A = this chain, B = another copy of it.
């Protein structure tokens, strides 16, 4: 057994059975070993940002890390933007990055770069394996970190000689201590706030947005009259008819401040207090009302479910009944594409238990609240703000849940960052319907220029926020990568296209022209 074989045997033994890969020459021994690793599914991507985004989507749906296989510093670099998004979402990922053999590094060959420096910027755990004899235990440690309750981006650098040298065999992943004890002082403080009669908001993040946690939160709301909210972007929300709904704290600073204005207490669970996404002249970074108190009940990566259950008990709400969302009446969508008509299309067309990856940005911002009563589904959002997020994440979510349908909504500007995802969806026959809202511009920037007080943009600046020349033909792009597509411009046609897309298996694309 060589080092690469011991690494793969360790991965498979620890349940890391999916690897999104962009291999190169330095990964040849890893490649040669995959056929001796039964149970390992390798998925080829055409660009590393697809691989890392897919691993993020995979984690969000399984709570288990997938691996990526990347090619030296530049390969890691191409994956970094979506690693940033994954890190912000608390997703665990095992990156295996091939590198030159140790003795070769000193000669500064063309692909040599500061790989360790790059890896450190986004990984919680980084290690360069020294020898083939111990690479199995190195990867076991990496997997333990990526699988921990507070999951890590764990990056293992695999030099050529470590891959091809001899190994004594696989290793087992060491258990890591679980730090999810409930902080009783925080619990007291949160309970006192809720029982004080002063207006309070539960701010939920992470796994506290799964249905079981939301049910506890909903009982607390029913009992105490507090409200509950999610950050504008969350890793995964279980929502829809029959579930407890959670409001979103608005994205823009002024509406967010207005939303939070009335609350004396913010009780944070698996998230931190709301902060502005960007900094603006003369606008604050922290969005809570002056004098409002933050009760950090459970830090990100903690056990929000246990914290909510304990809080529920502490405020005497265990027997309360959470309000669940009724099924939205089906409305026939007609006419122009608007937040309401998009919501009508989604409420009518989202398949039960689908996964909705929502990076619709400008178009979808107001749609979210209008789909609370759609069929039960999971919504996945971009917590890191690096666009080019949803096509890869949808790819990984579909790999993780082959029995569920995935609907991925994205803006045209965003989609072009990682459009190569479509090819992997076609290759693997993934059941993903990609919806491109094509407004032919980075509309968010036109809005933000005003928020920034940067004044009206002149013609040269507007050129930099506009992608209408030439118009991108997403149906042609999809065809080029083996995905059937359709262009629509009305709500009726959008509804029909979505119905048709989810009725059949396999990837599809709908370009919604605005």
Contact of A480 among B42, B272, B452, B474 (CB under 8 A): B474
Q: Which residues of B contact A279 (CB under 8 A)?
A: 26, 100-101, 103-104, 109, 160-161
Q: Which residues of B contact A413 (CB under 8 A)?
A: 46
List CB contacts (< 8 Å) of A446-460 with chain B.
Answer: 448-449, 451-455, 457-460
Contact of A35 among B49, B386, B458 (CB under 8 A): B458
CB nearest to A118 among chain B residues: B121
Contact of A481 among B88, B386, B460, B470 (CB under 8 A): B470
Counting CB contacts under 8 A, is A227 at the interface?
A: no
Q: Which residues of B contact A140 (CB under 8 A)?
A: none
B78 A74 Cβ-Cβ under 8 A: no
Q: Which residues of B contact A81 (CB under 8 A)?
A: 74-75, 77-78
Most buried by B among A42, A164, A444, A471: A164
Q: Which residues of B contact A419 (CB under 8 A)?
A: 419-420
Counting CB contacts under 8 A, is A181 at the interface?
A: no
Q: Which residues of B contact A74 (CB under 8 A)?
A: 80-81, 84-85, 384-386
Q: Chain B nearest CB: distance from A147 CB in Å?
A: 23
B463 A42 Cβ-Cβ under 8 A: yes
Counting CB contacts under 8 A, is A320 at the interface?
A: no
B384 A448 Cβ-Cβ under 8 A: no
User: Could you tell me how many residues of chain A have their Cβ less than 8 Å away from some Cβ of chain B?
Assistant: 104
Counting CB contacts under 8 A, is A464 at the interface?
A: yes
Counting CB contacts under 8 A, is A92 at the interface?
A: no
Q: Which residues of B contact A29 (CB under 8 A)?
A: 452, 454
Counting CB contacts under 8 A, is A496 at the interface?
A: no
B-contacting 9-mer, from A17-25, A261-269, A393-401: A17-25
A471 B482 Cβ-Cβ under 8 A: yes
Q: Which residues of B contact A122 (CB under 8 A)?
A: 113-114
Q: Chain B nearest CB: distance from A342 CB in Å?
A: 23
- The quantity of this chain's copies bound in the complex is 2
Most buried by B among A44, A120, A275, A385: A385
Counting CB contacts under 8 A, is A445 at the interface?
A: yes
With A44-B463, A103-B279 known as contacts, the answer to whether A77 contacts B73 (CB < 8 A) is no
Q: Which residues of B contact A417 (CB under 8 A)?
A: 46-47, 78, 420
A84 B88 Cβ-Cβ under 8 A: no
A383 B480 Cβ-Cβ under 8 A: no
Counting CB contacts under 8 A, is A285 at the interface?
A: yes
B104 A449 Cβ-Cβ under 8 A: no
A32 B275 Cβ-Cβ under 8 A: no
Q: Which residues of B contact A161 (CB under 8 A)?
A: 279, 281
Give Cα distance in the complex from A383 to B42, angstroms. 30
Give Cα distance in the complex from A465 to B42, angstroms. 11
Q: Which residues of B contact A75 (CB under 8 A)?
A: 81, 386
CB nearest to A101 among chain B residues: B279
Counting CB contacts under 8 A, is A177 at the interface?
A: no
Counting CB contacts under 8 A, is A117 at the interface?
A: yes
Q: Chain B nearest CB: distance from A41 CB in Å?
A: 9
Q: Which residues of B contact A277 (CB under 8 A)?
A: 25, 109-111
A111 B420 Cβ-Cβ under 8 A: no
B117 A88 Cβ-Cβ under 8 A: no
B469 A111 Cβ-Cβ under 8 A: no
Q: Which residues of B contact A77 (CB under 8 A)?
A: 77, 80-81, 84, 386
Counting CB contacts under 8 A, is A185 at the interface?
A: no
Q: Chain B nearest CB: distance from A121 CB in Å?
A: 4
A416 B427 Cβ-Cβ under 8 A: no
Counting CB contacts under 8 A, is A402 at the interface?
A: no
Counting CB contacts under 8 A, is A178 at the interface?
A: no
Cβ contacts A to B, 26 pairs, < 8 Å: A23-B465, A31-B457, A32-B458, A35-B457, A35-B458, A35-B460, A36-B458, A75-B81, A77-B386, A88-B110, A103-B285, A104-B285, A107-B286, A109-B276, A109-B277, A110-B277, A111-B277, A114-B121, A164-B453, A416-B420, A423-B467, A427-B470, A472-B480, A473-B480, A475-B480, A476-B476
- In the A-B complex, the 4 residue pairs with the smallest Cβ-Cβ separation, listed nearest first, are A35-B458, A470-B482, A104-B279, A74-B386
Given contacts A101-B279, A470-B481, A472-B480, 4 further A-B contacts (CB under 8 A): A26-B278, A75-B386, A78-B386, A419-B420
